[in-house]
A and B are shown apart, each in its own frame.
Chain A
Amino acid sequence: MSSAIDIAASVQSGERSALEVVEEHLGAIAERESEVHAFNLVTTDHAIAAASAVDELVAKGGPLGPLAGVPVAIKDNLCTRGVATTCSSKILEGWVPPYDATVVTRLAAAGAIMVGKTNMDEFAMGSSTENSAFGPTRNPHDLSRVPGGSSGGSAAAVAAGFAPISLGSDTGGSIRQPAALCGVVGVKPTYGTVSRLGLIAFGSSLDQVGPFANSVAEAALVCEVIGGHDPGDSTSLPQAFPAVSEHLSDGVAGMRIGLITEMMGEGIAPDVAKRIRAAAEWLAAAGAEVEEVSVPAVTFGLSAYYLVAPAEASSNLSRYDGVRYGLRVEAPTTGEMMELTRTAGFGDEVKRRIMLGTYALSAGYYDAFYGTALKVRTLIRRDFDKAYERFDALLSPTSPTTAFSFGDKTADPMSMYLNDVCTIATNLAGHPAMSVPYGLGDDGMPVGAQVLAPALGEVAMFRVAAVLEGSLA
């Protein structure tokens, strides 16, 4: 399958039609989707109509966007007007959004063609896509293993060649971890650089939309297309997305890169740590100054996150009450209707997080839990700031292990949460980070290297990522 960049070039030049490109990808989906289950919905009719519209533009001589004719898979927590959006939850059954998320509008304006809505952990809560109400997605590299999560469907769609690019959302690692487990590139941009309008909210101070792709250059292009100010999102920064594409071949000579000590020891599988050390050596060989650096507060990230994110989720998910959208379980009174609807509509993990958040925010516990977690967030930010006084970017594993098997971690939520140990601190700080495939573990499954940068440090981050990618070429 060709890259998004090659597809756009060939569609723009008239060498290939968008329809031909889309049909090729729909063919790939038809061939393997039944075993991978990357999608909640394949939007065949929509894709064919959108491709024909692009081809008409080509015939008329444009104007054509930078993603003309490029198939894209969209995580099912991004609103798509007229196309069912479920968050992989029974509670949104039957709901069809009356508007498009800003990122969906921008992709369409750039000529990209949605081929489907991807499976995910319900309401983006999970690290394996096993929490989907519609069944799990399987890792295209080994169907007996999870693709990671929560954006497991979007990662698997790219890894399986169903679409060259896809969108996910990342609240605590939900783009980077599945990217690592599926062997693709995944980017979590700086908080505020990509609009959240139309992203169904989980943890509003943590959520950020970002791309999956097979290469760093494709991911950079998608960031530039979807990023930049949106007046419809009050947390959107009033500036364009950093111009990353033009710096991809700048190299890392003279850059200072820190290997995070706390993410290389206990809890990290030795084969994963070995690959990340190899990545550090490669960067040093490419001319970067690479040193270990301690970022002590990141070890408290998991604890802080599992108070902050559920607290925000408990508030955000209170809107699912059977009144305005989705499921309603009929009952004699509104109060009972709401309780029965929520009880029937939410899965176990969502219920756990809602209860945890409600508890962390409740009278008498607010200061001890939520209040404490917010202060720890400040400490994490401070420790990162201190590291970034000495380093342009940081390096760590994305996930402590390669892809695990189905059912391995479902009985014990805490063991599942530990998958996010390397990714969570980034969201608490509001910083960008991305995962780049960096070889294979002892089991032959992909390992992801995580590149972290300070707020709006995307240029440095992509430069490092491009050099890592180049070492495998």
Chain B
Amino acid sequence: MTEPTSQERTHTPASTSERITTEQVAKVAKLARLRLTEEELTRFTGQLGDVLEHAADLDLLDLEGVEPMAQPIPLANVFRKDVPGPILDRDEVLAVAPAAEDGFFRVPPVLGESE
């Protein structure tokens, strides 16, 4: 994933009432490493817009001073004891990988990507 440019970072805060555009969906698809056809881009933009439009009802709520809840249980900083235990068998893991070589996952060249 590419880092957002400074211009993107200083984006004006969005409102949930703005309708998502095809340009935004195209950008999101690229960030998510998905390639969309023109037909998909149009269709997904409409469908995502509908969901976000429904979500605009959240703007009605007064959320001043409300703490966010990222997960439901009061556990925090759960550590295991630092002792060796059973781990996955490397050969078994690599045997179901798309490509492997010398104990590693093998991938095509990383450099030379055209963005």
Contact = CB atoms under 8 A, between A and B. Distances in A.
B88 A368 contact: no
Contacts of A306: 51, 54-55
Q: Is the interface of A mostly helix, strand, loop or mixed?
A: helix
Interface string A362-386: 1111011101111111110100000
Contacts of A374: 68-70
Contacts of A364: 8-9, 11-14
A325 B109 CA distance: 18
Q: Is the interface of B mostly helix, strand, loop or mixed?
A: loop
* Residue of B11, B25, B55, B93 most packed against chain A (CB within 10 A): B55
Interface in B38-91: 40, 44, 47-48, 50-52, 54-58, 61, 63, 66-73, 75, 78, 80, 88-89
Interface residues of A, number: 77
Contacts of B96: 94-96, 98, 325
B25 to A, nearest CB: 7
Interface in B8-43: 8-9, 11-16, 20, 24-25, 28-29, 31-35, 40
Size class of the contact patch on chain B:
35 or more
A339 B61 contact: no
A325 B57 CA distance: 40
B108 interface: yes
Interface of B: 4, 8-9, 11-16, 20, 24-25, 28-29, 31-35, 40, 44, 47-48, 50-52, 54-58, 61, 63, 66-73, 75, 78, 80, 88-89, 92-93, 96-99, 105, 107-115
20 contacts: A96-B96, A99-B88, A304-B58, A323-B98, A323-B107, A324-B93, A324-B98, A335-B110, A337-B107, A342-B32, A346-B34, A351-B34, A352-B44, A356-B51, A358-B32, A359-B25, A374-B68, A377-B68, A378-B69, A430-B72
Interface of A: 94-96, 98-99, 191-192, 204-205, 231, 234-235, 237, 300, 302-304, 306-307, 314, 318, 321-328, 330-340, 342-343, 346, 348, 351-352, 354-356, 358-359, 362-365, 367-369, 371-379, 381, 412-414, 417, 428-431, 455
